[in-house]
Amino acid sequence: MSAFFAVVKKELASVLRDRTIIIALLIQLFIASFSSALLLGMLSLYDADTILQFSGARVKVGIVGVESPLADFLRERGMTVTPFATLEEAQAEFFKNKVNAIFVTPQNPAEIQLYLPKNEAARALLRMVLQEPMKRYENFLRSERGIDVRYADLQGKPATSFEFMYSVLLPMLMFFPAFVAGSMSVDSLTEETENNTLQTLLSTPLSPSVMVSAKMTAAVFLAFAQCAAWLGLLSWNGVEIQNPIWILALAVLIAGSASALAMLGAVWLKDRERSQFIYSLALLAVAALGGALNVSPVMALSRLAIGDAFTSGWDVASYLILFAALYALVWKFAPRLVK
């Protein structure tokens, strides 16, 4: 047992000494900040709710022609609507920057014209914002023709940020360390085999299975530490996370499984190039398979974090079985290393 801990300690010490673990932390910080920046940017450009929330009254629409319910729909979305008698008048205001877009509503209510500025960015933004009132107007025309659109009055709050936080960012932060743990396991084993130090290591009172387990333990421990730190940081930032203990347990099990999967390849192939390649392929294959079978730790994790009523520790327990199976295989095949 003391030999086991000696190897764990050596692995952790070497990671700390090389300082490259800092890079892994940096990557995660980068991914987190980058993806939220991306989301923020996307929302402020491509999400009508967000745009209108911040600058709804500043979107000024001119309407020329007969009275139309379209004007009410535009006002209800918080835009400023100004009626004009002729298109010339409206365009004059447009060139004074008093109006951003002009609707022309002729006698035939089903054929309207929309005048937009030439600038592509402004055009895209206005199209985004005007989409929903135009759709409501379309529904209005449908109902006049006797077509009833169901569920049209649903409201609710914009959910993109919520969905992003719990189904993208949190799983990414929890499972990226697992992915790293697998790669680290491959590195630490193949480094011994390729530098021919494995024989020396195994001449100590240490069986191959125990040695491999020790290397895995070190990698998984690092993943655990990172996940715990992320959970702490997120809740410190005011993100509400339910079931943190189960989430951490799930993250550790996934890290353990990834590490075992990677080790299996490394024990088999004994060189870094092929092992890493096979490991990345295997990860992709497992993810695709999980998607096909509709089991995904990502979904389990999101549901645990939002406190879903039908998700509990038992969902985590199923990943314990996966880990145990993979680990048993590693334990069985590790003696191949000395052959």
Partner 1 sequence: MNQILVIAWREVSRLRKRFGGGASPLAVLALAAAVGFSAFTLRDTLSLGSGLYRVGVSGNVPNIQDSRFAVMEVSPEEGQALLAARAIDVWINGEVVFAREDDKSQYAERALKQYMEKSELRRIAETYPPGAAFPLRVSIHTSSGAAQSGAATPSDEVIIPSLTPPPAPFTQVLVALLYVLPITFISIFFTSSFMDEKMNRRLTILLSTPITPFQIIFGKMLPYATFSFFSIMLIAALTKANIALALAIFAPTTLFIFAIYLMVPLFYRTFKDVTFIAMLVTTLTTAYLVFPAMFTNVNDLAYISPLALAVKMYRGEGFGWREYLFPSVPMTAVFGFAMFAGTRLLNEEFLMGYKPITRKAADAIYLMMAHASPFWSVPLWSLLTIPVVYLTQVVFLAFAANLPVSLILMAILGASALVEEIVKSVGIVVLAQRGVITRWRDLFALSALSALGFLIGEKALLLISVQFVSQAKVSGALFGAGLLLLVPLAAHFLFVSLTSVLTAKAKFPYWLALALSSTAHFIYNWIILRGGQ
Q: Within 201-220, which residues bind partner 1 (CB under 8 A)? A: none
Q: Which is nearer to partner 1, 138 or 204 (CB)?
A: 138
Gap between the Cα atoms of 280 and 126, Å rounded: 43
Binding segment for partner 1 (CB under 8 A), chosen from 76-84, 247-255, 273-281, 322-330, is 273-281
Neighbours of 78 (CB within 10 A): 14
Q: Which is nearer to partner 1, 284 or 321 (CB)?
A: 284
Site residue total, partner 1 (CB under 8 A): 104
113 interacts with partner 1 by CB under 8 A: yes
CB neighbour burial string for 117-156, b if at least 16 within 10 angstroms, e if fewer:
beeeeeeebbebbbebbbebbeebeeeeeeeeeeeeeeee
Pick the binder of partner 1 from 66, 281, 321, 325 (CB under 8 A): 281
Chain-centroid distance of CA 106 in Å reads 46
59 interacts with partner 1 by CB under 8 A: no
- Of 180, 195, 182, 184, nearest in space to 270 by CA: 195
User: Are 244 and 309 a contacting pair, CB within 8 Å?
Assistant: no
Q: Which x/- pattern, by CB under 8 A, does the window 2-41 give for partner 1?
A: ------------xx--xxxx-xx-xx--xx-xx-xxx-xx
76 interacts with partner 1 by CB under 8 A: no
Sign, Cα dihedral of 84, 90, 92, 95: positive
115 interacts with partner 1 by CB under 8 A: yes
Gap between the Cα atoms of 322 and 87, Å rounded: 69
User: Are 252 and 220 a contacting pair, CB within 8 Å?
Assistant: yes
Q: Which x/- pattern, by CB under 8 A, does the window 37-56 give for partner 1?
A: xx-xxx--xx----------
Residue 328: CB minimum distance to partner 1, A: 25
Q: Which is nearer to partner 1, 191 or 229 (CB)?
A: 191
Pick the binder of partner 1 from 5, 58, 76, 88 (CB under 8 A): 88
Q: With helix as H, strand as E and coil as C, how does 194-225 read?
A: HCCCHHHHHCCCCCHHHHHHHHHHHHHHHHHH
85 interacts with partner 1 by CB under 8 A: no
Q: Which is nearer to partner 1, 299 or 324 (CB)?
A: 299
Q: Give residues 138-167 in contact with partner 1 (rule: CB under 8 A).
A: 138, 141-142, 144-147, 149-152, 154-160, 162-164, 166-167
Q: Which is nearer to partner 1, 164 or 324 (CB)?
A: 164
180 interacts with partner 1 by CB under 8 A: yes
Pick the binder of partner 1 from 241, 274, 329, 333 (CB under 8 A): 274
Q: Which is nearer to partner 1, 95 or 205 (CB)?
A: 95
Residue 199: CB minimum distance to partner 1, A: 16
Query: Long-range contacts for 243-247 (Cβ within 8 Å, ≥24 apart)?
Result: 243/304, 243/305, 243/307, 246/304, 246/312, 246/313, 246/316, 247/174, 247/301, 247/304, 247/305
87 interacts with partner 1 by CB under 8 A: yes
**Angle at alpha carbon of residue 30, lines to 257 and 44, rounded to 5°:** 115
